[in-house]
Homo-oligomer: A and B are copies of this chain.
Amino acid sequence: MTNNGEPRSISRPALKRLPSYLQFLKALHHDGVQSVSAPIIARALHLNEVQVRKDLASVSTASGRPKTGFSTNDLIRDIAAFLGYDNVNQAVLVGAGHLGQALLSYQGFENYGIQIVAAFDSDPTLIGTQVAGKTVLALDKLEDVCRRMKIRIGIITVPDAAAQEICNRLVEGDVCAIWNFAPVHLQVPQHVLVQNENMAESLALLSEHLANKIQAEGIE
């Protein structure tokens, strides 16, 4: 579940502390620790205990029990959701050429609850134009928009030569899943998923099926 629909108020310093809470909680969880108290978190991260309680209360409805503390599981889930790490239903698209425009106009994604929320291009004649109700944005805003909107999925429909650079910039914007239409092998950090869409391979497959069928019919 993402909480994009219900923004909660949190101070900028608190927001910056959330990833370190998450990292610490995941380490605890990994070690089999099922609950944790605010003083333990505060000590480990060199923070004030009251501050920790306040930070956690602003992002999680998990309430610490007097003796056992907070459930690490619940805190991990709530902080990750707050940070949008689980935003798997929104994507940005880079490259608003024919294929990009076709994908932006495609209605079918909605059936799966997925939305392409922004499109980017480097072509000045495309920037500012509308495609299927979405304004094409300048490429220099890419990382910033991805981070601000907590986008985790990037769609690459740029020419082959530009694909790796765009991929790097998406990763820089915290995108961690790439749908790649450029017929190039993208280099990504280990935590990033890449799904390649090779159009030629798909048509070649049909051609091969047809060839096999013709041969089989000739032999029969």
Contacts and interface: CB of A to CB of B under 8 A. Distances in A.
A20 to B, nearest CB: 16
Contacts of A135: none
Interface string A188-220: 000001010111111111111111011001111
Contacts of A111: 200
B193 A213 contact: yes
Contacts of A114: 200, 203-204, 207
Interface in A82-133: 85-86, 88-89, 91, 97-99, 101-103, 105-106, 108-109, 111-112, 114
A177 interface: yes
A152 B210 contact: yes
A86 B64 CA distance: 72
A99 to B, nearest CB: 4
Interface residues of A, number: 55
By secondary structure, the A interface counts as helix
A46 interface: no
A86 B218 CA distance: 10
Given A29-B218, A193-B206, A193-B209, 9 more contacts: A88-B208, A88-B211, A98-B101, A108-B198, A109-B203, A112-B203, A114-B207, A152-B210, A179-B206
Interface of A: 26, 29-30, 73, 76-77, 80, 85-86, 88-89, 91, 97-99, 101-103, 105-106, 108-109, 111-112, 114, 152-153, 155, 176-177, 179, 183, 193, 195, 197-211, 213-214, 217-220
